[in-house]
Structure 1
Amino acid sequence: MDKSRREDALRSARERLITEGLVRASIPASLVAEEIEQSWRRSVSNHVNPATGPHILGEVDPDSAILRAAGRILDQWQNNLTDTRMALFLADEEGRIVSRRIVDAQDTRTLDNANAAEGFVFSEQALGTNGLGTPIEGRGVVFVRGHEHFNDALARLACAGAPIKHPITGRIVGSLSIASHVDASSPLMVSMARQAGHQIAEALELMADSRNLELARTYRQFRSSKHPVLVMNSETVMTDLPALAHFDAESHAYLWEMLRMHHWDQDKLQIELPVLGTEAMVRRLGRAGQDAIFALEFTEPASAPAEGRVSVGKHPEQRSAPALREVLDGLSSRQARTTTSYSVLQRELTAAATADGLIRVTGGPGTGKHHQSSKWLRQHTGREPKTFTAEMLTEDPTAWAVMEAALAEGCGILVTAGPGIGHDLVDRLTEFASAHRPGVHPGARVILTERTSGPFNPNHEAEDLQGPVRLPSLVELRGELLDIVREVSAELFPGAPAPRFSPAALQCLLAWRWPGNVAELARLLAHLRRSAGTGLIQTKDLPAPMRQTTLSSLSRYEQSERDTIVAALAEANGNKSRAAEILGIGRTTMYRKMRALKIDDDERMILPGP
């Protein structure tokens, strides 16, 4: 079949697919290769208009992983193709062209007319069959010539395309295409595209963090198990688990932090995972701390703890951290949960108010005793409560009369005291709160908040009618930290969206000891609101001490190396290539070390603290 007749046959076959439908229309096997027919059918299913050109997705990130890996390789191929009329295209996983290398300037106008330039999306869903989008969708090498392209604007081109598969995850991260005018095309373009794609994949492996390479090897080791497997380190999760939809970034951050903090007497333990409705055998591999790898092999549905099961209690040096099982139990309902410990506390205050007498609230500094007590009184009286200190009641005799008048007006009374409040004052407050006052608003109660330095231990007389309501520290509530963040944020900024944290930033929050409790959290959220606005909060937005919490497992040598690299980046104003020159190392080595030492782009300008 001559060229003209073949082009007519291609156009006709494609039109039949569009007009007659995928079921009725058939394409002769001799006309196009099987992968082209399959792509045509996918294009019709996606309702691709062959007359519509590509759209621009957005600016290309010049520092993206695929561009860093492919840069030198594209340079070499462009040089090797000097005497040809071929062009090179690199696309990311969305089919967006991120690099174009034109060997002969005469081809620039032809390619520009087809919008074959950086930023334009050549995915199969957007443009139909082509040499960049089809390899991604079909996961294989393809050769598309002339009117085999689904889009009419590409009919003058021939494109050999190959997918780029990440060597660690196996995921398709982009594609490479070698294009020429259809009359100058050659079957050799297919082998060249395949070879260039392999070279870029190898470059990605060289760039990869050695920790992720080890994670991939671990995953390959365990995935042959008859049970579903999930392996993870501090940054990455690899799994074949069907229930992965329930294991989001927050779940990973919580589970990672609890497993990292667990006192590992043995290298494996059996745990229940209500979030996934299963049990899992967890193995700790690699070094302790941030370099650990955890492999979870999911076994039977969750059941009662069997005798002899490995304990998942607290580390003796981390008594204030929640038990691992408590956090895992909370993960299953975290997404749909509408209550936190603070809303439970409000119910406890309501229950305490059913008995006539003094309501006592205890907790450490900054746990929110005053805020939560005021909130309850305000909600139950509709008025702002009157606040007094223990010193005022001891030193000013008229203060009691002022409290009496406030109660008569229907206001609640809030008395704040330190850890050393005397028994006499507590007894007098108890008697005052129990006095019958006709006409007083039923919500106008007396609440005494007492600051403690540790868990509540009752040391008052047995005649106290109502036991204290205790506010836990924020560290004790680590398992619901994100819910508390949302609740506190909603009170600070009514109507504003809840803050969103990157996985790395979330890990910093979970690892922080929160010495100032919820008061410190409120100050942090106010600071982040001013500095980061409503965007995604990165580690760079957090205070320097908080950013360092996840680095505690670095050795002295690793910490010194990290500080040196951060200082070089600061000296080079964030330019990684220049920083690598300052340090006397290659750019690829620089990227690898930055990932291994957890030096994120968002913190590269921050000098290490003293």
Structure 2
Amino acid sequence: MTGTVPCERERLALAQHHDPAVLPHRLVASWKRSAGYGVPLDAVEPEFAGAVDDQSLFFESGHQVLAELHDTLADEPVSLMLTDPDGLVLNRVCSNRVLLGALDGVSLAPGFDYSERTTGTTGLGLALADRVPTLVRADQHYSTRLWGYTCAAAPVSDPVSGDLVGSVNLTTWSQQSYNLLLALARTAARTTEALMLARGHGREARPASRGRVVRVRTGRDEGDAACPEELGAQWRAAADAARAALLAGRGVAVVGEPGVGKTVLLGGVQARGRRVLHVRPPEPEDVTSWWSLWSPELGKPGTSVIVGRVDRLPAWAAGELAGLVTGDGAQLSITAEDPAAVPEVLRRVVGAVVEVPPLRHRRDDVLPLARRFARDARGRPVRFTAGAEQVLATYHWPGNAAQLRDVVRRAVDRTDLVSERDLPPEVFTGTHSRLTRLETLERDEIVRALAEPGATPALAASRLGMSRSTIYRRIARYGIRLPAESPS
């Protein structure tokens, strides 16, 4: 157990003959957070939010899974629920009237906020906070009002983006057998994710994150990795703000969309001669071993650590990380997609939050970055035709600089002069909507036909077996644009 002063819940545990030193670490950490939130020990006071989102892919998939699971449980006194990522109860499937009445008495019902912040340690609150399947039994709950229940919950993540979308929660009486409860919650969560993927119209599941611990190439030690002299004012302003925070001895959080270059920026502003490690969390179940691998480096002289994606850290790991940051806050930098997603305990240990704008808002940075990526990939300068430059400069780059780097690397694989025909079909479109696999294939074929020398929409339609009206509709639907049609 960390810390020297036990919280009120730990004192209560001692009074009940539990030794906090042998209780699960995550449970004790949750009790401490609950005490810090001011959750009462003898009451349950969740806030009522009212309407819930019952139109999402997660809700539709999860509700079907719980309904089928409920059928197999017959008359067992188990309540099955979905929550959103903030702990708001979305639905409840249960046929046991006694249990339903009891759950109503503690407001464990649709529309109520059952997050750790409002109700203290519960199975669903802790599963969402630490992003791993969790079982909380009887007097392990923070509030004594919940000691009559056993709660098992498992988080559900979007199978494509990895974002936390909610949880599956199973609650029963505390005196009931709970051996299979956590396994059922875990299976229901994985089945929900699989059903979301199947209903996602051609989406592909993301690979599991294995985490990483790597040394960062810094701009001051090995050449200017972020090439700030070539980039625009917005990038330079973000870099200057991050550098000022580090020079002042404060930690810094750099936020922005995936792929904008948050780690590249932080690597480029580190002091000369410092050893810089970039660590990124794996799947929540593997965080403990990942944590033990690199956390001792944080306190070493001359070493800076960049912790990426802190919005995906389990709550216990975020608390441990904040506890390791003492006097030299400049040793720690963190990244996240959104300022609000930075865990509260980490917001308190960084002195500045710097935002990197998306590439679509930094049009002047596209071509300098493309030339840099091409030179790095080819080992020598690479030229782009005027048409290729126009396509690159006017595309909206939803994947930001990371997508631009991938596109350029593929284009320069076999050439030192990149033309429009070397670019992938995706950059010739202006649509922001997600396409199915069949729609993507159709779009790509139309782009290839239109890119042929001397091609016109009429000729392309003839080659593809379409009518002219159909191809014009498809061009408008997919936002296809040719270099000659692109705005100057």
Q: Which of the five TM-score ranges fits, normalised by the shorter chain?
A: 0.3 to 0.5
Radius of gyration: which is bigger?
1
Q: TM-score, normalised by structure 2?
A: 0.47
